[in-house]
Amino acid sequence: MEVFPDKLRGRLSSSALSKLYELRNNKLNSFLSDVIDLCEPESIYLVEGTMEDIEYVKRRALETGEELPLSTKTHTIHFDHPLDQARAREDTFILGDKIPFVNTKPKEEGKKEVLSILKGAMKGREMFVGFYSLGPVSSKHRILAIQVTDSAYVIHSENMLYRHAFKEFQGDRDFLKFIHSVGTRDIKKRRIAIDLEGTVYSVNTTYAGNSVGLKKLALRLTLNKAVNEGWLSEHMAIIGLEGDKGVHYITASFPSGSGKTNTSMLGRLVSDDLAFIREVDGEARAWNPEAGVFGIIHGINQKDDPIIWEVLHSEDEVIFSNVLLKSDGTVYWDGSGEPEPEKGINFSGEWWKGKMDDKGKLVPASHPNARFTVRLGSFRNLDPRFDDPEGVKIEGMIFGVKDYSTLIPIAEAFNWAHGVITMGASMESARTSAVLGKSDEMEFNPMALLDFVSVSLGRYLENYLMFGKKLSHEPKIFSANYFLKNEKGFLNGKEDKRVWLRWIVERIEGNVDGLKSPIGIIPLYEDLSRMFSSVLGKPYTRENYESQFTIRLNGYKQKFLRIREIYANIEDTPYEVLEILDKQIADIEYYMRKFGDNVSPFQL
Ligand code: OXD
Ligand code: MN
């Protein structure tokens, strides 16, 4: 028996109603009628993804004042509440039993609370319903998702960041569900509640990392699904690197704000933030669940980020968020290399140079976590295969951190398990501005995913180790750190990462040997010297090499002891994890007995 709820009739246009009717998706209809009962919107707009829909949403975002027009007609600016400028860790929780390192709330209690805040939240408001696919629409691995929101800015962002897939909802298809309301913007009542059965509720927030369901909220659901089904749903960019023998795809996992977006611009862009990785015929294949970029804008300048700069200055559609709006209708952000204006409007309201907040701290012109939202199609380095339903074959994986004191710039793991555990699972990185709170504190952040794990780390790593066992072509695993310092300051220039990527490609193509060290395989001086010259046209001295690749054995040892302690205290950590860490520590200690606290690469 078909149920076509009456509730839908009064609130939808007749053409939207008949389209919904034609889908004959009872799960969808009953979901929508439940949301109507809960949020009580005045009207509903279905976003199928037609030109008309796209234009309508953009217009509504301006009419509601959620976005303001800029002098370039295709650009807009959006501001989030001053206390809602980043991901709200404390207000985001998985509904369910306690899991170490994961913010959880008992299911009944957490759900009751968020539902009570959402009750009637859309009264007098328009509700948008968007239909999307995570991953290429024609891929058999794509995941369908629905966003319901009363924010035109949120649905506008979804339209730019994800693939429309209305027709795919035909029949009783399953889908992930995201329910968002701007609410009353009362930060004390901000809640992001994640029900791993497939629904996320978000209210009293607009910052996209908390409100745009398909991005970081979906990641919690797909990660859980991946662990249950034996694949990987990761916080990783996907990049194609051109070698002498063709294009090789790698993934890159970096905590936000430590070089991921920038790294993805150095090759062919497939994804800048997220990856689904599955085993197919013994290969690791990857897809980008997204179709756009929600990137940090702070520090983006013409010299270091020419491709992003070009996109932000093109006629293509851009939503800027939390940057400074100037009186001429253009925008400014810190680190752009342009002169700081005297005044403007920013996330704190009216802004002038020297403005202090109520704690007596200078208010920056643009927020350190200010962002841009653009479509992938705007990037001239977009890989032609970014939408390939078969995905791309992954031959390398980078785990990168922002570490001022210990990790060398680049190293290769001995094998999958060594890389997964000592590089991925052992990541510690300086805290990012993408999260509310203090930045620059060192934080344990395995696979740059700690904020997004929705299962216990033990199960998560067990799945990773099992995944490796299914592969007959294991990707090589690398650790990277662009931020190493000594007493004189940073040891590498911003552009040096091009050389590390070149080394990775040459390792994949089997062109270069490496030097065995206790923590992995490291580059040989001669190879780097050749690459600095061919890639950057720069000399590379033996002193440069020695300062960058001296292995700070004691630093590494202390780090692995900290990591071992963490995993030893997690009940379901696979035994193999501790075994690998113990062996790693023992190997370092062996070198320490021979060389002391540091070993120069010339001694290896
Ligand atoms: C992001 C993040 O927005 O990781 O990508 O914070
Ligand atoms: Mn991210």
* Rounded Cα distance, 80 and 202, in Å: 15
Residue numbers in the chain where pLDDT is lower than 50? 1
CA of 234 to the centre of ligand 2 (A): 10
The confidence score (pLDDT) of residue 44 equals 95
Q: What angle do CA 430, 435, 437 make, to 5 degrees?
A: 80
- Whole-structure pTM value: 0.96
Residues written for the chain: 604
| 220 in contact with ligand 1, CB cutoff 6 A | no
CA of 434 to the centre of ligand 1 (A): 6
**Domains of the chain with bracketed CATH:** 6-66+89-229 (3.40.449.10), 232-291+387-603 (3.90.228.20), 294-378 (2.170.8.10)
User: Closest ligand 1 atom to the C-alpha of 294?
Assistant: 3
Q: Which of 363, 176, 390, 168 is nearest to 276 (CA)?
A: 390
User: Closest ligand 1 atom to the C-alpha of 256?
Assistant: 4
Annotated catalytic residues are 258
CA of 273 to the centre of ligand 1 (A): 7
Mutation pick for ligand 1 pocket among 294, 321, 373, 374 (CB with most ligand atoms within 8 Å): 294
The confidence score (pLDDT) of residue 436 equals 62
Distance of CA 46 to CAs 49, 217, 578, Å?
9, 21, 51
Mutation pick for ligand 1 pocket among 157, 211, 212, 215 (CB with most ligand atoms within 8 Å): 215
Tell me which amino acid residue 497 is. Answer: K
| 273 in contact with ligand 1, CB cutoff 6 A | yes
Strands 143-149 and 176-181: parallel
Q: Which of 236, 280, 604 is nearest to 447 (CA)?
A: 236
CA of 10 to the centre of ligand 1 (A): 38
* Tokens representing residue 47 in the block: 């976003």
Distance of CA 401 to CAs 237, 283, 423, Å?
14, 26, 10
User: Closest ligand 1 atom to the C-alpha of 434?
Assistant: 6
* Rounded Cα distance, 122 and 424, in Å: 42
| 496 in contact with ligand 1, CB cutoff 6 A | no
The confidence score (pLDDT) of residue 546 equals 98
Bridge partners of 392? 286
Map residue 258 onto helix, strand or coil.
Answer: coil
The confidence score (pLDDT) of residue 1 equals 43
* Rounded Cα distance, 321 and 67, in Å: 9
Binding residues for GTP: 257-262, 371
Binding residues: 87, 207-209, 216, 235, 256-262, 273, 369-371
* Rounded Cα distance, 317 and 461, in Å: 39
